[in-house]
Each structure stands twice: as C-alpha cells, then as structure tokens.
Amino acid sequence: MRFDLDSYREIADSLTRNKSRSFLTGFGIFWGLFMLLFLIGGGKGVKSMLSANFEGFASNAAIMVSQNTSLPYKGMQEGRYWNLRLGDVERLRTLIPELDVVSPQLSRWGVNAVYGDLSSSCSMKGVRADYSKVEAPSLKYGRYINEVDVEQERKVCVIGKRIYEELFPDGGDPCGQYIAVGGVYFRIVGVDYNASNISINGNSSQSAVVPISVAQKLYNYGDVVELICVTAKSGVQMTSLEGRIRQVLARNHMFDPEDEPALLVLNTEQIFNLVDALFRGVNFLIWLIGLGTLLAGAIGVSNIMMVTVRERTTEIGIRRAIGATPREILSQIMMESVTLTLVAGSAGIVFSVAMLSLLGMITGRADSFQIDFSTAVLAALMLTLLGIAAGMAPASRAMNIKPVDAMRDE
C-alpha cells in the first residue's frame, strides 16, 4: 500500500462524496465503541463504589456469635443459650494454628458521647489492639487502641468520623481532649475516618472504640464476650476452617457441632467471592454487548464500501485504464475503510471518556469512573483490525474490476 499525500486526498474526496453513508456507518462504529468503553468504565466505577462498603475489612475473616441451640445434646434440651468467653480466644488460637487473628469484642448500644454542650449518639465498642487487622482503621488523627491500653486498662478511646464532626464542628486535632461516653470520661487518642458500611456491633463512624478490659469492668461482663472475630493466615481459606471452629466451641460449650443455628458464623470470604463472581459476569456481558455492537458496525462499513465500489465501477475502470495498478486500487479502498473506522472510533473513545468524567463528577468518585490507557490502546487496535477486515471484500471486488467491463457499464 502507498501512503502518500495523493492517497489521502483521494480518500477524503471519496468520503466527502459519500458523506451521508459515511456518517451512518461511522455512527455505528462510534456508538459501538462508546458503549463498550462506557460500560467498562461504568462497571469499574460501580465495583469501586461497592467495594468502598467493605473498605478496610479483612476479606478472609469470620465473625462468630453465640445463639440458642436448636438440637438436644447429651441430655440437654434444645433452646439453651450459651455465651462465648475469653477462654475461647486462647483455645481457638491453640487448637487452630491456621488462624492469624482471634479478637474478642464487647459493645454497648445507645450511649451518648458528650463534649461540653455538644452531644452525639453512638455505640461503645470494647476491642483488643489486634482488631485493627480485622477492620483496619483510617486514622485522620492520633492512633488506635494498643496492647498497653488494654493491659493497663486505660480510659482512652478512638472516635468515629460522625462523632468527631458533631462534637468538634470547628475541626482540629481532638487528641488529648476528654469526652464522656456513657457517663464515663475517656481521653481521645485517635479519630477513625473509615468509610466502610459494614456494621460489626455498630458502624465505625458512629462508634467510640475503647480497650476491652475497660468495657468489661464498666459493664460487669466478667469473661463473657459478645462476639469473636477471626482471620485466616495467608493462603488459607476461611471456609476450610469453619467446621473445625464449630467443633472446638461445641466441645467446650456442650452443643452439637452439627447445630448450625447455635453458632452464627458470618464468613466475609463468601461475601467477597460473591461480589467478585458478580462483577466477572457483568464484565463478560459488557464485552459481549460491546464487541457485538462493534462487529455490527464493521459489517455496516463493509456493506457501505461494497455499495461505494459498485457505484464507482466506471471511475475505478478509468483509473485502471490510465495505469493504476491493482495494488493502488486495493490500497485506496482499504485506507478508506480504516480511516472511516478510526475517525469514528476515536470520537467514540473521546466521548466515552468525557461521559465517564461527568459521571465521576456527579457521584463524587472521579478516580473510579475511568478506563485504563491499555484499554484505550486495545480499542484502537481492534478498530484498525475491524477496518481492515471490513475493507477486504470491497477492496477485492474493486481490484478485480477490468477497464473493459467498466466501460461497458458506462
């Protein structure tokens, strides 16, 4: 193929003469590429927004809560309630070495956090320092609860975003200030801006986190805990450990290991796997719809080029008669096809990026509704290949036109 200035002038003249057909055909390519890239970027943005609901939460965790038994066991009737205890924490650590974190938790609902004349409704969560590995805090100020706080029973707390905004409307670092939580004064050591919507004994933005040892004594819990959060070590699936966890707790608390309602186990690994599977299916549908639309556009280009070649039989025949080679004829038709697809496709790329930016501004997540540079490059390569494929049949027809046949048609 020759790519000199005369070739591009001929292509431009041809597309201008057939501008109505070129517009309709180009619109098909434009719309197909726009749909593909917009759906890819939109799907990525929606996944990012959904993932924000699980921000900071361990993907291989399980939360265990004791409930009433539903089966009789060793002479004891069903309906018996039992409690998780601090001893279960060490027992699980010892008997199931595949567990990485075993962290107990207590809570107190419906308390008020008070600073001066300002008040904020919240929940109090008593935790150990290792709970930060289950639900990672996003600290704006200060630090999280540590082991020394727990051991020395320090009356310190980490407050959530909403509590901070309501008690300190003027902003600034509140660490070192004292607030009353449930009538007991605590010194603020940190502010957690975690935006996760997962609520484990209270949403993090509305929780005052204190050492579990302090919560035990304040509310006379003794060694009873409300729930135990565990995470598995790297490479270990939590699902494979769930049965062993039930056996260890059932043996110690005298209930049937097969009695699933007796121990509620919320496995976050299954939730994350469900979300991943959902978006894999969505991505498959996006590519299927987008590629189908692009293919339809390419077929349209091929059909329009076939009509154009048929209408230009005389012109092509005259060019052949005055010395144009079959290769030159092939070059022009192929370049017309590729140019048409690239121009329309480039417009589709630009428009999809603009619409995704607008969507990101509307949702406030401009960094999520985007397409990767590699995706745009892949789209351009696909357009080039589609343009070449669409022009093959018309170019072959044009190349086989003989001057004598063209004159006869005239």
Q: Are residues 226 and 285 in the same domain?
A: no
Q: What are the backbone angles phi and psi of residue 238, rounded to the nearest 5°? A: -65, -35
Report if residue 377 sits inside a domain: yes
Residue 68 pLDDT > 90:
yes
Task: Report the percentage of the chain scoring pLDDT > 70.
Answer: 77
Q: Are residues 373 and 313 in the same domain?
A: yes
Query: 337-351, pLDDT tens digit by residue?
Result: 777 777 777 888 888
Q: Are residues 108 and 213 in the same domain?
A: yes
Paired residues of 207 in beta bridges: 123
Residue 153 lies in domain: 104-234
Identify the band that residue 231 occupies on the pLDDT scale cut at 50, 70 and 90: very high
| Average of per-residue pLDDT across 71-92 | 90
Q: Are residues 217 and 281 in the same domain?
A: no
Q: Are residues 111 and 22 in the same domain?
A: no
Identify the band that residue 15 occupies on the pLDDT scale cut at 50, 70 and 90: very low
Q: Are residues 140 and 210 in the same domain?
A: yes
Report if residue 117 sits inside a domain: yes
Report if residue 250 sits inside a domain: no
Identify the band that residue 313 occupies on the pLDDT scale cut at 50, 70 and 90: low
The pLDDT value given to residue 3: 43
| Average of per-residue pLDDT across 79-83 | 91
Predicted TM-score (pTM) above 0.75? no
The pLDDT value given to residue 25: 60
The pLDDT value given to residue 1: 43
Identify the band that residue 2 occupies on the pLDDT scale cut at 50, 70 and 90: very low
How many Cα atoms are found within 13 Å in the side-chain-facing hemisphere of 1?
14
Query: 373-399, pLDDT tens digit by residue?
Result: 787 777 777 777 776 776 666 666 666
Q: Enumerate residues 6+ apart whose C-beta is below 8 A from 67.
A: 81, 261, 262, 263, 264
Report if residue 332 sits inside a domain: yes
Q: Domain boundary residue among 203, 234, 265?
A: 234
What kind and span of H or E run contains 141?
strand 139-142
Q: Domain boundary residue among 171, 203, 234?
A: 234
Q: Are residues 215 and 278 in the same domain?
A: no
Report if residue 282 sits inside a domain: yes
Which ranges of 153-267 would DSSP assign to H, the alpha helix?
Answer: 161-167, 212-218, 238-253
Q: Domain boundary residue among 186, 219, 234?
A: 234
Query: 93-147, pLDDT tens digit by residue?
Result: 999 999 999 999 998 888 999 999 999 999 999 999 999 888 888 899 999 999 9
Number of domains in the chain: 2
Q: Are residues 300 and 402 in the same domain?
A: yes
Q: Are residues 114 and 203 in the same domain?
A: yes
Q: Are residues 226 and 310 in the same domain?
A: no
Report if residue 207 sits inside a domain: yes
What's 241's DSSP letter? H
Q: Are residues 404 and 352 in the same domain?
A: yes
DSSP for 111-179, written as a single string: EEEEETTEEEEEEEEEE-GGGGGTB---EEEE----HHHHHTT--EEEEEHHHHHHH-TT-S--TT-EE
- Asked whether the beta carbons of 184 and 218 are under 8 A apart, the reply is yes
Q: Are residues 219 and 159 in the same domain?
A: yes
Report if residue 261 sits inside a domain: no
d(CA 139, CA 158): 9
Report if residue 74 sits inside a domain: no
Query: 174-220, pLDDT tens digit by residue?
Result: 999 999 998 899 999 999 988 776 667 778 888 999 999 999 998 88
Nearest to 140 by CA among 184, 180, 88, 194: 194
